[in-house]
Each structure stands twice: as C-alpha cells, then as structure tokens.
Amino acid sequence: MNRRKKRGSPLRIIILVALVGAALYFNQFIVPTTPPLFIPTPTPTRSPDSFLNEATEQIQKGKYIQAVTAYEQAIQSDPRNLNTYIELARIQVLYGDYDKAIENIGNAILLNPNHSLALAVQGWAVGKKGDYLLSQAKLNDAIEIDPGNALAYAYLAEILAQQQTENKGDLTTIDKASEASRKAKELGPNLMESYRARGLVLEMTGNYEEAIPEFEQAVALNGNLADLHLALGRNYKAMDQYDKAVDEFNRAIALKASDPQPYVENALTYLRIGEFAKAIQYAQQAVTVDPTDPLLYGYLGTIYYRQTDYASAVQPLRLATRGGAAETADKQVVQVEGIALDGDSVAMYARFGLALARTGACGEALQISQAILQAFASDETNAYNANEIVNICRGGTSTPVPADVQPEATPKP
C-alpha cells in the first residue's frame, strides 16, 4: 500500500530561506570587517615627515636627546632616506657624539657614495676624532663633487684649525684654514657653521678681537650649543672682558652641565683676576663632574698653589702627577691615572715638588726635583725650579718661583 508524502510547511520553508540568507550576508559583509579574536587592533602609523618635524622642533629647543630619538624613529619608518642619516650625524658631531655620527653618516654613504654633504659630514666627524688625513681627503672629495658646498668648507676650516691647535699641522695649515673659512662665509653667509669656523680660525691665529663678532653671530643663529658659548667666553677672556667671559661659561654649563670644560674656564678666569675662592669652587666642580681626569686635579692644585695654600695643593697635584685612588662626591672610589712627566706637564710637577718641599715632605720632593733635572737639565726655568726644591729642603732661603711658570694651558675643546 502506497503512503502519501507530507507536503512541507510553507512557514518552515520561509524560515529556512531567511536563515540561509542571513548566513550569506554575514559571511559576505560582516566577517571581512570584523577583526580576528585575540589580535590587537592596529594603531595609525606616523609618517617619517612627522618624526623629522619633531626632530627639528627639539633641536630649536636645544633638546639633543629628544631630537636624536625623533631622527632614529624617522629612520625606522623610512630607512632609505639618506637625508635623515645626514641630519642625525650632523647634530651628533655638534654635540660631541662622534662615534655615533660616524656610524650614521656611513649608512648615508652606503645609500649614495658620491653625495657631497654626506662626504663632508663624514670628513668632519673623523676629523673631530683626530684622523686628519682621512678627514681632509673626504672633505676635499665633497668640495670636488660640489664646489658650492659651504658646509664642506666650514668643516674643513674647523678641522684644520683643530689640527694646528694640536701642533699637528704644517707650514700651509694656517693659510688653508683661513682660506676655507672665508670661502665658507662667502658661500654660506647665513650658516651658523660658517661663523663658527671663521671664529675658530681667528682664535687659533690669536685674533681674538676679530673672533668675538664671529662667535657672537654664530650664537645668534644657534644659542643652544654649549661649545659656541664656551668659544665666545674664551675669546672674551683673552680680551680681558672677564664678566662677559664668565656669563658665557655659565651659559655653557647650563646647556651641558656634564662637561667639565666650562667649569675649568671659569676657574682659570677667576684665578687670573685673583679671586681664589671662586676659582677653587669651580675647579672643585670640574673634578666632581669627571673625578677620573688627572688634569682637573692639576688645575685645582695649581689654584691652591697660587693662593700659597701649599698643604691643600699637595693632594690634588699628587693625583694629577702620580695618580691613585680618589673619592667622588657620592663617596665612591675611583682610580686616577697620573700624567707622565713631559714638556706639557713639567710645570705641574714643579709645583707639586715645591708644595711638598714647603710642607716638609722632602723625601718625595727631592724625587720630583731629580726627575725634572734628568729630563730638563738644559731648560733654565725647569732647572731653576728643581734646584729650588733642593734649596728649600736644605733649609735655604726660598726665592719666588719664576713668573713664567704659569698655570697649564687650557685644555683643548
């Protein structure tokens, strides 16, 4: 017997069709716009230009660390942008981070080995590290590629001036530096680097009065560089404008408190005008900033010696010449490596020996005297001081130390 099939319910069919339609709609339109579970929602990414703009703003505010961070973020965002590497390396040289500058400018040159500005910055950076042969080769290459590159001439003038100051130049170095500095100003009359370079060349040649307006203009173009204030202050001091000099050194301290150099400059300025208490204060601050630098102890001991406080002069002069353990401001112990006896340090050794003799420590004083005589017997001043140590220890009448035994030359910036 045949059984009749049941007809489907119209309502059930309508519901089924609706469900199928909803499923299709969900798969077609909803699923593609729904983020997968447990995956973070992406955040909008910044453009490289936004990082570059931020770096520029930070530089204008004198915030070096923040500027470097912004440049590094720009590089991460666009590692093929040669100009970013160049700008980062430029500010790193200006702020004394030469190794990082060399690394970054090397990346720029990998992208374009014949880029004039990249080669110029590379020459500048390696020159600041003392590689004068490579420096000048790179800078001359930059000028050959682009004879209108004002920065290349400015960097060349600066490096040549530094080389001459370190007594590593030749008979042509001064003329080359002067010519390059003038060319930099001719091609880049609105560049801070042009005025900086010209000022350094004029200072190197002893033309302090002419150097002052060059550094003043450089500071007007960029007042956030401690080294510019330091250079301006040095030239004010050379022209006996001591109040202005101290103001500039203090500005340098405000911008870069971790650098002992402006403290030393203030100490030597106050020493020159006979304000020993202030000179000692700044010399002590310099030691606090870098308690491992023997030359800083030499300055402090020299100031005590000039004040005729021989007892206080002995220990810092011992650290400067002999080295040894020193205690930092936070009670840590550090080791100081003494400066060897040579033509640059012999006056400091003489002060040490004389201070020892005048405080009765003749055993050590006579050792210093003997060492000076052995090394500098033919030098009238050094021989005089060595013999004076012996004379004091034998109970003879002390005579004044010759006037030409002056405080050591200011460290090179």
pLDDT in tens, 236-271: 999 999 999 999 999 999 999 999 999 999 999 999
- Candidates 131, 134, 136, 124; CA nearest to 166 is 131
Residue 44 confidence (pLDDT) above 60:
no
Residue 15 confidence (pLDDT) above 60:
no
Mean pLDDT for the stretch of residues 204-224 = 97
Q: Work out whether the CA dihedral 139, 256, 236, 276 comes out positive or negative.
A: negative
- Candidates 95, 89, 93, 97; CA nearest to 72 is 89
| Residue that wins the pLDDT comparison between 166 and 413 | 166
The 8 Å CB, 24+ separation contacts for 271-276 are: 271/302, 271/303, 271/306, 271/407, 272/237, 272/242, 273/242, 276/303, 276/306, 276/307
| Residue that wins the pLDDT comparison between 24 and 3 | 24
Taking only the tens place, the pLDDT of each residue in 311-366 is 999 999 999 999 999 999 888 999 999 999 999 999 999 999 999 999 999 999 99
Residue 24 — pLDDT band, cuts 50, 70, 90? Answer: low
pLDDT of the residue at 165: 95
What span, in angstroms and rounded, lies between the C-alpha atoms of 362 and 30? 95
- Residue 327 three-state SS: strand
Half-sphere exposure of 316 (CA within 13 A, CB side): 26
Residue matched to tokens 């390696």: 126
The residue length of the chain stands at 413
Mean pLDDT for the stretch of residues 64-84 = 91
Residue 33 confidence (pLDDT) above 80:
no
pLDDT of the residue at 329: 85
Q: Which two tokens stand for residue 167?
A: 């007594």
pLDDT of the residue at 405: 41
Cβ–Cβ under 8 Å, residues 267 and 303 = yes
pLDDT of the residue at 64: 85
| Residue that wins the pLDDT comparison between 4 and 372 | 372
| Mean pLDDT of all residues belonging to the chain | 88
Percent of the chain scored above 90 by pLDDT? 77
Instruction: Say what the alpha-carbon torsion angle 324, 325, 328, 334 is, to the nearest 10 degrees.
Output: 100
Residue 35 confidence (pLDDT) above 70:
no
- Candidates 207, 248, 250, 245; CA nearest to 228 is 248
CATH class name, domain 260-413: mainly alpha
Residue 16 — pLDDT band, cuts 50, 70, 90? Answer: low
Residue 203 — pLDDT band, cuts 50, 70, 90? Answer: very high
Mean pLDDT for the stretch of residues 287-308 = 97
Residue 401 — pLDDT band, cuts 50, 70, 90? Answer: very low
H/E element, 376: helix 362-376
The CA-atom distances, in angstroms, between 102 and each of 6, 85, 127 are 89, 10, 10
Residue 53 — pLDDT band, cuts 50, 70, 90? Answer: confident
Mean pLDDT for the stretch of residues 406-412 = 38
Q: What string of DSSP letters covers 178-242?
A: HHHHHHHHHH-TT-HHHHHHHHHHHHHTT-HHHHHHHHHHHHHH-TT-HHHHHHHHHHHHHTT-H
Residue 398 confidence (pLDDT) above 80:
no
Mean pLDDT for the stretch of residues 104-128 = 97
Residue 50 — pLDDT band, cuts 50, 70, 90? Answer: confident
| Residue that wins the pLDDT comparison between 383 and 28 | 383
| Residue that wins the pLDDT comparison between 120 and 21 | 120
